[in-house]
Amino acid sequence: MTTATTTAPGTAAPPKPATMAQALRRALRDAMAEDPAVHVLGEDVGTLGGVFRITDGLAAEFGDDRCTDTPLAEAGILGAAVGMAMYGLRPVVEMQFDAFAYPAFEQLFSHVARMRNRTRGAMPLPITVRVPYGGGIGGVEHHSDSSEAYYMATPGLQVVTPATVEDAYGLLRAAIASDDPVVFLEPKRLYWSKADWSPDAPATVEPLGRAAVRRRGSSATLITYGPSVPVCLEAAEAATAEGWDLEVVDLRSLVPFDDETVCASVRRTGRAVVVHEATGFGGPGGEIAARVTERCFHQLEAPVLRVAGFDIPYPPPMLERHHLPGVDRVLDAVARLQWEAAS
């Protein structure tokens, strides 16, 4: 895997406010400029620049043969990407919304995830599948799903999701550079989040599979990712009023999973809550809680708890505030971590 290029010291523009959408667009642009094998394809990614304008300007700069509008046929889009990758290209597919990706599952599960194994390593598929996901934007059905558990349960796929502007750039560059398929989940509600960032001097891209500690703490660990990271950071600040000093771990990569960072945190705090928007039953939190329990059992002061979306199809926009994990639900879970044992 390659790493992102950096500008020579002393020539980079100083950091300034940038959105996650801008960082993603710059990552695509830089990857296409660096490697002519990188092609972008999807519904409305060309002239329109995508529903969320992540591909804005790419067709004008690189031509519509490298940033290509496709028919409304997700299985066909991903099937075309499989063929492109088999012939040496490095396609980046955009699925317009999370649940729009479901028609492409057969291609993803039966071919994209299996090709390296099927060919005894002779034919890896360097495909990046970008999927805007999650709620918080008032979207209707099929526009707010959190589908990560499906991808996590499929061997052969890497699954990553950024929560910061810097990670949006770095993780997407790493995903495109990977020789194996990556499902890149983009939290829609964070597209317009901002941070000081210099596109001319992006941080060195770490290998996929590393979590980050976003807030140090000693009382308990909040394990989360993507759109729930800001929620957990807000909850951690609010928790100080109750005397709890919460650590927040941003997984960044769901597959590969960073057991080392997660377990080091939980062994130190002794308590953990997993927070995500996906449903609780069969959701990522069950696997994460099991891994933490297996590896940290003797250091745990309480069972690992989960705060998740309800086990229902995604609700109408007027009700999503109840469905999505919020600060109050996170703090309620923290309060149930058997604190009497610490007194």
The percentage of residues in the chain with a pLDDT greater than 90, rounded to a whole number, is 89
Per-domain residue ranges of the chain: 16-197, 212-336
Determine the pLDDT at residue 11: 60
Q: Hey, what are 268's tokens?
A: 């130190």
Q: With residue 278 as reference, give the H or E element that holds it.
A: strand 272-279
pLDDT digits (tens, 9 = 90+) for 306-322: 999 999 999 999 999 99
Determine the pLDDT at residue 342: 66
Q: What is the pTM of this model?
A: 0.94
Determine the pLDDT at residue 4: 41
Q: What does the alpha-carbon distance between residue 100 and residue 113 come to, in Å, rounded to a whole number?
A: 19
- From first to last of its 343 residues, what are the pLDDT tens digits of the chain? 334 444 444 466 788 899 999 999 999 999 999 999 999 999 999 999 999 999 999 999 999 999 999 999 999 999 999 999 999 999 999 999 999 999 999 999 999 999 999 999 999 999 999 999 999 999 988 899 999 999 999 999 999 999 999 999 999 999 999 999 999 999 999 999 999 998 887 776 678 999 999 999 999 999 999 999 999 999 999 999 999 999 999 999 999 999 999 999 999 999 999 999 999 999 999 999 999 999 999 999 999 999 999 999 999 999 999 999 999 999 999 999 988 766 6
Phi, psi of 151 (to 5 degrees): -70, -40
List active site positions.
Answer: 143
Please name the CATH architecture into which domain 16-197 falls.
3-Layer(aba) Sandwich (3.40)
Q: Which fold has domain 212-336?
A: Rossmann fold (3.40.50)
Q: 288 near 279, Cβ under 8 Å?
A: no
Determine the pLDDT at residue 91: 98
- State the maximum Cα–Cα separation within the chain, in Å, rounded to a whole number: 66
pLDDT digits (tens, 9 = 90+) for 88-112: 999 999 999 999 999 999 999 999 9
Q: What does the alpha-carbon distance between residue 31 and residue 36 come to, in Å, rounded to a whole number?
A: 8
Helices (H) and strands (E) in the chain, counts: 12, 14
Same fold, 16-197 and 212-336: yes
